[in-house]
């Protein structure tokens, strides 16, 4: 476990631990890949002490990748992970017992951003494109984008480039010809480096579990009150951010190191329009799509469903909604 903690310390951009990492924490939560503004629901709950309001001493970790977050979740180094639902599918196929208790973004929030010389889909043929990780959410997004553009994935080369900064550098220097970018990174690449977008997958309306809250079922069973109070703090943070745009922009600027205009793009794209997606579980069709895509390279996924993999657990959100909590914090 020590190795994982050291790795986290190296790649952590912003983390404000309440004590040494070795110390027992009331609850630890992490963002797995945190460069989209939807993660501000966690930043606000942490920075505005909403977790403490609900009796929790939370340590929050901002991690570069969902895969590292998943390793930490499986080893009980964190108790709640906010990341892509793709990792829940692939991990439960290995006999893990993870479940999704809350939502986030239920669509592909990504654009295929390419170099200036790529003017039409046909120009992609023979070119090198990048993903953060094979089998990850942005890899699936890239495959969907290519299909919609009429480009066979076998006609391009796909490599792994981890981290937004490294991806931008690779694109700017011509080491790669394109990749899937979220906002505001997509707009930054287009304005700063003259790149352009071939397709915006958000317009496709394809259900996809881009972000969701993930826990172990054993954690939910033994610490249900803690998990419920954690989600209450996050839900209150959603409405705080919708009411307090300056706070939201300040948090986005702080955590993903962008300017005011870029932060506003992220806020409008994710929080203002889709922040309340936290209150719904991912669409079953999106999870079924992930299973279907995973089955192409992993035989264990063949014949599986969201139900057989026990991916969704609605009881936490159901309890919170039935209590009238959402209506109280909304107003």
pLDDT digit string, tens, across residues 66-116: 889 999 999 999 999 999 999 999 999 999 999 999 999 999 999 999 999
Identify the domain boundary among 156, 187, 204. 204
Same domain, 231 and 197: no
Q: Is the pTM of this model over 0.75?
A: yes
| pLDDT score recorded for residue 322 | 98
Q: Are residues 129 and 96 in the same domain?
A: no
CA distance 154 to 143: 10
Buried b (16+ CB within 10 A) or exposed e, 83-102: bbbbbbbbbbbeebebbbbb
Give the Cα separation of 115 and 174 in Å (integer).
8
Are 99 and 135 in the same domain?
no
Looking at the fold, whether 79 and 126 belong to one and the same domain comes out as no
**Could you tell me the CATH number of the domain that includes residue 172?**
3.40.190.10
pLDDT band at 188 (very low <50, low <70, confident <90, very high): confident
Mean pLDDT across 180-192: 89
Are 55 and 229 in contact by the 8 Å Cβ rule? The answer is: yes
Q: What pLDDT score was predicted for residue 200?
A: 94
Query: Which residues have C-beta within 8 Å of that of residue 156, sequence separation ≥ 6?
Result: 124, 125, 126, 127, 128, 129, 146
Query: Both 322 and 190 in a single domain?
Result: no
How confident is the model at residue 10, as a pLDDT?
34
Domain identity same for 222 and 319: yes
Residue 269 in tokens: 């794209």
Q: Are residues 162 and 36 in the same domain?
A: no
Token reading at 283: 């669409």
121 & 78 share domain? no
Residues 136, 250 share a domain? no
Q: How confident is the model at residue 12 (pLDDT cuts 50, 70, 90)?
A: very low
Gap between the Cα atoms of 62 and 159, Å rounded? 25
Q: Please check whether residue 210 is in contact with residue 13, taking contact to mean a CB–CB distance below 8 angstroms.
A: no
Q: Which of 180, 204, 228 is the last residue of a domain?
A: 204
Last residue of a domain, one of 169, 204, 239: 204
The sign of the CA dihedral 254, 258, 260, 263 is negative
Lowest pLDDT segment from 27-31, 191-195, 281-285: 191-195
First vs last Cα of the chain: how many Å apart?
43
Q: Tokens representing 233? A: 């703090």
Helix (H, G, I), strand (E, B) or coil at 90: helix
| Number of domains composing the chain | 2
272 and 310 share a domain? yes
Looking at the structure, do residues 229 and 260 belong to the same domain, yes or no? yes
Q: Which domain holds residue 15?
A: 2-106+208-330
Please write the tens of the pLDDT for every residue from 126-165: 999 999 888 889 999 999 999 999 999 999 999 999 877 7
Domain identity same for 164 and 279: no
Which tokens go with 163? Answer: 């981290």
């Amino acid at each position: 476990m020590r190795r994982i903690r050291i790795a986290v310390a190296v790649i952590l951009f912003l983390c404000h631990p309440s004590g040494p990492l070795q110390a027992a924490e009331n609850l630890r939560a992490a963002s797995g890949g945190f460069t989209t503004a939807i993660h501000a629901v966690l930043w606000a709950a942490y920075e505005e002490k909403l977790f403490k309001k609900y009796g929790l001493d939370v340590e929050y970790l901002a991690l570069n990748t969902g895969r590292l977050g998943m390793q930490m979740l499986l080893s009980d180094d964190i108790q709640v992970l906010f990341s892509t639902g793709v990792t829940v599918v692939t991990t439960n196929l290995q006999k893990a017992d993870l479940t999704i208790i809350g939502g986030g973004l239920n669509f592909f929030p990504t654009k295929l951003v390419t170099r200036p010389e790529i003017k039409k889909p046909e120009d992609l043929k023979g070119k090198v494109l990048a993903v953060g990780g094979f089998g990850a959410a942005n890899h699936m997004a890239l495959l969907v984008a290519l299909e919609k553009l009429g480009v066979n994935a076998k006609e391009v080369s796909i490599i792994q480039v981890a981290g937004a900064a490294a991806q931008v550098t690779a694109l700017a220097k011509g080491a790669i010809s394109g990749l899937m970018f979220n906002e505001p990174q997509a707009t930054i690449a287009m304005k700063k480096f003259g790149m352009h977008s071939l397709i915006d997958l958000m317009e496709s309306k394809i259900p996809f579990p881009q972000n969701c809250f993930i826990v172990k079922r054993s954690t939910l069973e033994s610490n249900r009150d803690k998990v419920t109070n954690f989600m209450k703090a996050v839900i209150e943070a959603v409405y705080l951010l919708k009411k307090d745009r300056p706070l939201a922009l300040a948090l986005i600027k702080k955590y993903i190191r962008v300017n005011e205009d870029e932060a506003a793009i992220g806020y409008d794209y994710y929080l203002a329009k889709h922040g309340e997606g936290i209150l719904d579980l991912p669409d079953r069709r999106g999870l079924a799509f992930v299973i279907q895509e995973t089955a192409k390279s992993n035989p264990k996924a063949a014949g599986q469903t969201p139900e057989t993999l026990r991916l969704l657990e609605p009881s936490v959100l159901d309890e919170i909604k039935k209590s009238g909590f959402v209506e109280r914090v909304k107003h």
